[in-house]
C-alpha cells in the first residue's frame, strides 16, 4: 500500500487595489520649499510617528508620514479585548518579501505624485526612515521614481541585500546621513563599522550623526538636518 500522495501547492499572485493612509503636518497651502517623507518603524502608526518631527517642519516645509499597509494587534487576545488592543503596522515580513517590497515602492511613488502639486518646482525632497523604515526608505530611493535630495537612515542601516557595488547607482548621487544613538540596542558599534566599510568599498559618501540615547527619535538632531531640508532639490 502506497503512502499519502505528496501535495505541492502552486503559488499565485493577483493585483488588487488598496487604500493607504498617510498624515501631513504643514500649512494648508502649496509652494513648499521642502518636504520630508517620514517612514515609521515596526509596530508604529504614522499619525503618532509624525508628531515626533513637528519641530522639523516650518512655514515652507511639509511633513508627510505614510503608513505601512500591513497592520496588526501589538498584544495577544489574552492581554486585552479587541477594542482595547493597540495596533501597529509593518512594511513587510520575510513572507513573499519581493511582492511586499514592490508594492510599497509603488505605493510611495504614488504618494509622492499626489504630494507633488503642493511643492515648489525646485523643492528639496528629503526621505527619512526610522528603524524598519530605514530599509523601506533605502529601497524606495534606489528602486522608485522619487528624486530625493537627501536620504536619512535613523536607528538602522541600509538593507543587507542592497547591492551597493554593482547595483543601482542612486546612492552615489543622493547625500546619505546615518543617525544613531550611542546606546541603540539594534545597531552596535561593530555593525556600524562593518556598514561604513561596505559604503567605502562601494564609493558611497555619507555623514554620521550620533546622539546620546538609544533607539529613539532625538529632537536635538533636527538642527543638523534642517539646513539641507530647506535647500534646493537636485
Give a yes or no: residue 15 inside a domain. no
Alpha carbon distances (Å) from 18 to 15, 103, 110, 111, 140: 10, 10, 12, 13, 19
How confident is the model at residue 233, as a pLDDT?
40
What's the confidence (pLDDT) of residue 231?
47
Question: What's the rounded Cα separation, in Å, for the pair 26 and 29?
Answer: 8
Closest listed residue to residue 170, CA positions, set 198, 142, 203: 142
Question: Is residue 154 domain-resident?
Answer: yes
Residue 1 lies in a domain: no
**pLDDT of 5:** 77
What is each CA distance from 50 to 16, 119, 127, 189, in whole angstroms? 28, 19, 13, 28
How many structural domains comprise the chain?
A: 1
Please give the distance of CA 91 from its chain centroid, rounded to a whole number.
Answer: 9
CA distances from residue 67 to 78, 89, 100, 123, 197 in whole angstroms, order as listed: 27, 7, 14, 23, 32
Rounded-to-integer distance, Cα 35 and Cα 232, Å: 11
Domain that holds residue 183: 22-229
User: Which pLDDT does position 63 carry in this prediction?
Assistant: 97
Torsion over CA: 56, 74, 98, 14 (sign)? negative
- β-partners of residue 210 are 180
For residue 232, what pLDDT is reported? 42
Is 181 domain-assigned? yes
For residue 41, the Cα-to-chain-centroid distance in whole angstroms is 8
pLDDT values of the chain reduced to their tens digit, one per residue, 234 residues: 666 777 889 999 999 999 999 999 987 788 999 999 999 999 999 999 999 999 998 889 999 999 999 999 998 888 888 888 999 999 999 999 999 999 999 999 999 999 999 999 999 999 999 999 999 999 999 999 999 999 999 999 999 887 776 545 678 889 999 999 999 999 999 999 999 999 998 889 899 999 999 999 999 999 998 765 554 443
**pTM of the entire predicted model:** 0.91
Residue 210 lies in a domain: yes
CATH number for the domain that contains residue 156: 3.40.50.1820
10 found inside a domain: no
Q: What pLDDT does 171 receive?
A: 83
Residue 144 within a domain: yes
Amino acid at each position: 500500500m502506497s503512502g499519502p500522495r505528496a501535495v505541492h501547492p502552486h503559488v499565485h499572485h493577483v493585483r488588487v487595489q488598496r487604500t493607504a493612509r498617510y498624515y501631513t503636518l504643514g500649512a494648508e497651502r502649496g509652494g513648499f520649499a521642502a518636504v520630508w517623507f517620514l517612514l515609521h518603524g515596526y509596530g508604529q502608526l504614522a499619525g503618532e510617528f509624525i508628531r515626533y518631527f513637528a519641530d522639523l517642519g516650518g512655514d515652507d516645509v511639509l511633513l508627510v508620514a505614510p503608513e505601512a499597509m500591513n497592520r496588526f494587534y501589538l498584544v495577544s487576545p489574552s492581554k486585552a479585548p479587541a477594542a482595547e488592543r493597540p495596533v501597529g503596522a509593518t512594511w513587510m515580513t520575510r513572507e513573499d518579501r519581493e511582492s511586499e517590497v514592490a508594492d510599497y515602492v509603488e505605493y510611495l511613488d504614488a504618494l509622492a505624485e499626489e504630494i507633488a502639486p503642493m511643492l515648489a518646482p525646485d523643492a528639496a525632497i528629503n526621505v527619512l526612515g526610522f528603524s524598519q523604515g530605514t530599509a523601506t526608505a533605502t529601497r524606495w530611493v534606489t528602486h522608485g521614481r522619487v528624486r530625493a535630495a537627501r536620504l536619512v537612515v535613523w536607528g538602522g542601516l541600509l538593507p543587507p541585500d542592497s547591492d551597493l557595488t554593482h547595483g543601482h547607482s542612486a546612492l552615489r548621487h543622493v547625500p546619505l546621513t546615518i543617525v544613531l544613538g550611542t546606546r541603540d540596542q539594534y545597531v552596535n558599534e561593530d555593525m556600524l563599522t562593518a556598514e561604513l566599510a561596505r559604503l567605502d568599498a562601494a564609493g558611497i559618501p555619507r555623514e554620521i550623526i550620533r546622539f546620546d540615547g538609544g533607539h529613539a527619535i532625538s529632537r536635538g538632531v533636527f538642527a543638523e538636518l534642517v539646513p539641507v531640508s530647506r535647500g534646493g532639490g537636485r
